[in-house]
Structure 1
Amino acid sequence: MTTLVVHAAEPRDRFRDLVASEWLKLWSLRSTGWSLLLGALAVMAFNVGTAWDHYRYWNAYDEAARAAFVADGLALGDAFTGNAAMVLVLCSAALGAVTVVGEYGSGQVRTTFAAVPARGALISAKALVLAGVQAGFGAVVAGGSFWASQAVLSLRDTGVSLGHPGAVRLVVASALLAPVCALVGMALGALLRRGAAAVVGAVVLLLLVPMVLSEERRLTAVLGHATPLRAWRRLAGEGAMEPFAWTTGGAWLVYGGWVMVAVLVTVVTVRRRDQ
């Protein structure tokens, strides 16, 4: 008598289950909460500190300077400063790198790949969770900075509201800078596999390169505009009068381009190097 044995196919991992798993893994890192908290405090300190300086020394400015501050809407510049943007870039990229490097360092990645052979879906879930957390972080920091800085300046009747031209774009661009740089950090973490190396790579790629590319020549200006930090500057209203000024539409495309390339690099690297 022949016994027929039927092997039931194992259910494929559902994407929402992968997202839930990556969410738990991200928040299981003790560094996640602390890095977000300290990063938020540092970014907001730069912004509110700049507004406080303008409030404190307001009477030290001459009449023309005070009139120009109001007429040119310079209060909007205090809502999110260039120094704060650089701190945000570094904090977000570092957290993005840790989400990948941490798994390789602990050896957990082998268990993860054994449980989920579909690495493309796994990395997509990781990127989605990271981007979501960082977008929320960016929204809190950008919104909080705008509210606090303008509250300080309003004591001198110089603060602006979200209805001011360019205000919403500044807040949105500053908030989205966080997930863009976090995904870049994730890609660097997948490529370099070491936390320190990934952070150094993020500093060079996201901070130093935009600084050394000159605005005086078309080639270097275009290359500079293609970096997230320069794109943020354009969306924030800075650099509009430069010789080869970027458009705001182009700056938004730079954000999207870096996101797509970062996720693609991470997926390809994990698939090819971990077979």
Structure 2
Amino acid sequence: MSTTTAPAPVSAAATAPRGKVTQPRVLKSEWIKFRSLRSTYLSLLIGMVVMIGIAALACWAVANRWPSMPAMEKAGFDPAGRSIDGFFFAQLAVGVLGVMVVTGEYSTGMIRATLSAVPRRLPVLWAKTAVFGGVTFVVTSVTALISFFVGQAMLSSQHIQTSLSASGVPRVVFGTAIYLTLVGLFGVGLGTVVRSTPGGISSLFGALLVLPLILHALPTSWANDIGPYLPSNAGQALTTLHPDPHTLAPWTGCGVFALYVVASIIGGAIVLKRRDA
């Protein structure tokens, strides 16, 4: 007499179909990781507070000394530019966050789990870039607008304020947000190439801050020819209402800086594909 053996029960986990890895799903995963990190909120908050605080301080100082300010200085005063001066310091916070979006996973080893879930790898970089770029542009746009209105409120005591509808002002205000977003994306690209937080931050600060200082040691003719094409100088042309003769036009400068950003992200994509996690 033969006996029939009942088949072993199959767990629900084994029978459940695995979801296909798609770009929208990777995007959602990166969004969850991005908004769950304390460093995200801290870096963006520092950038916002610093930029708005400097706007208030700088414009208050101008309004306070306006009656005694030399006529030549008054003639060259740019109320829109003064109200967004804090972007120079805000870029440090945004750039560091961009680097850490990538290198933070390498430092904790979480990148191995991420790349195991997404074997093709590049969708991870595209998702990080999209999430970081979208959030940063929204936050920096709001910050630039608040900085502008806070600054103009300070300047209004001397009736030297401008309006958001004035010629060139929208480009300065929202151009600041575009510049800061590109700085952050530059950090994402460099972080992907270097895979180290100290190395990525050093590379970013070197490109944005150190290269312009080195340029001052070169002959003036060289500086005038090379300076406009450095990453920070090119990008900051977008934030200037009246560009200097030796700088690029606003949108041309933005395009040059964007090429640096694209090159860093392409370099990061190549490294991500070829090297082990």
Q: Is the 8 A contact 1:101 1:194 kept in 2?
A: yes
Q: Distance in 1 between matches of 2:225 and 2:270?
A: 27
| Residue 24 of structure 2 is aligned to residue 21 of structure 1 | no
How far 1:238 moved relative to its partner? 6.5
After superposition, residues 1-275 of structure 1 pair within 5 angstroms as 12-61=20-69, 64=71, 69=74, 72=76, 74-81=78-85, 84-214=86-216, 217=220, 219-237=222-240, 240-242=243-245, 244-274=246-276
In terms of Rg, which structure is larger?
Answer: 2
Q: Distance in 1 between matches of 2:44 and 2:212?
A: 25
How far 1:163 moved relative to its partner? 2.0
TM-score by length of 2: 0.85
Other structure's SS at 1:128 match: helix
2:6 matched to which residue of 1? Answer: none
TM-score by length of 1: 0.86
1:4 matched to which residue of 2? Answer: none
Q: Is the 8 A contact 1:96 1:182 kept in 2?
A: yes
Aligned residue-pair number: 262
Cα shift readout 1:178-201 (whole Å, capped 9, x = no counterpart): 221111111222222222222122
Q: Is the 8 A contact 1:124 1:263 kept in 2?
A: no
How far 1:9 moved relative to its partner? 9.2
Compared CA separation, residues 75 and 238, structure 1 to 2 (3 A): closer
Compared CA separation, residues 178 and 101, structure 1 to 2 (3 A): same
Q: Is the 8 A contact 2:179 2:238 kept in 1?
A: no
Counterpart amino acid of 2:110? Q
Gaps of 5+ in 2: 1-15
Other structure's SS at 2:144 match: helix
Cα shift readout 1:179-225 (whole Å, capped 9, x = no counterpart): 21111111222222222222122111111112332596555434322
Give the fraction of aligned pairs with identical amino acids, expressed as a percent: 27
Q: Distance in 2 between matches of 1:218 and 1:10?
A: 62
Gaps of 5+ in 1: 1-7
Q: Is the 8 A contact 2:169 2:241 kept in 1?
A: no
How far 1:265 moved relative to its partner? 1.7
Q: Is the 8 A contact 1:169 1:236 kept in 2?
A: yes
Does 224-233 or 29-38 show the bigger shift?
Answer: 224-233
Counterpart amino acid of 1:254? V
Q: Is the 8 A contact 1:234 1:248 kept in 2?
A: yes
How far 1:250 moved relative to its partner? 1.5
How far 1:239 moved relative to its partner? 7.3
How far 1:259 moved relative to its partner? 2.8
How far 1:43 moved relative to its partner? 1.5
How far 1:148 moved relative to its partner? 0.6
Other structure's SS at 1:57 match: helix
Cα shift readout 1:121-170 (whole Å, capped 9, x = no counterpart): 11101110011111112102211111110111012111000122221111
